[in-house]
Amino acid sequence: MQYPSPLSPAPERPRQPDPSALRRRADELRHLAGSIERSLVMALADAGDADTWNTNRTRLCDRMLARSLHQLHEAADDLREAALGFCDRADELDRAHRPCVA
């Protein structure tokens, strides 16, 4: 096992992201979530009526579509949750860099 030399420079600390960059990322994630929910695919379940979905195969397709739409909604929710995390982190960084007034 090799040990670092006492004369070698200390490892660099990871650079903190800029709070405004985190907020921009959060905005992009929220925009993407909205785009997913507004996409035309979300209206596919409404395209058929009871007479359209009357065979075993079409009922299977209907269930698969419902599951896929549910996954898309969950993905949009996950994007919004990640956006919230970015905003929370940006707020933390802002508070950490705010000068303390005694």
* Domain-embedded: residue 54: yes
Q: Is residue 56 part of a domain?
A: yes
User: Within a domain: residue 24?
Assistant: yes
88 within a domain of the structure (yes/no): yes
Closest CA to 93 of 4, 30, 19: 19
Name the residue with higher pLDDT: 40 or 5: 40
Q: What is the pLDDT of residue 16?
A: 75
- Is the pLDDT assigned to residue 4 strictly greater than 60? no
Whether residue 67 is contained in a domain is answered as yes
Domain count, the chain: 1
Secondary structure (DSSP) of 86-98: HHHHHHHHHHHHS
Q: At what angle do helices 56-97 and 19-38 cross, to 10 degrees?
A: 160
Q: List the domain range (segments joined by +) for residue 77.
A: 19-96
Q: Is residue 32 part of a domain?
A: yes
Output the pTM of the full model: 0.73
Within a domain: 7 = no
User: How far are the Cα atoms of 49, 69, 88, 94 from residue 98, in angstroms, in the given order?
Assistant: 59, 44, 15, 6
Asked if residue 3 belongs to a domain, the reply is no
Please tell me whether residue 9 adopts helix, strand or coil conformation: coil
Q: What is the pLDDT of residues 16-28, one digit of tens each?
A: 789 999 999 999 9
Q: In sequence order, which ranges of 1-102 are alpha helices (DSSP H)? A: 19-38, 56-97
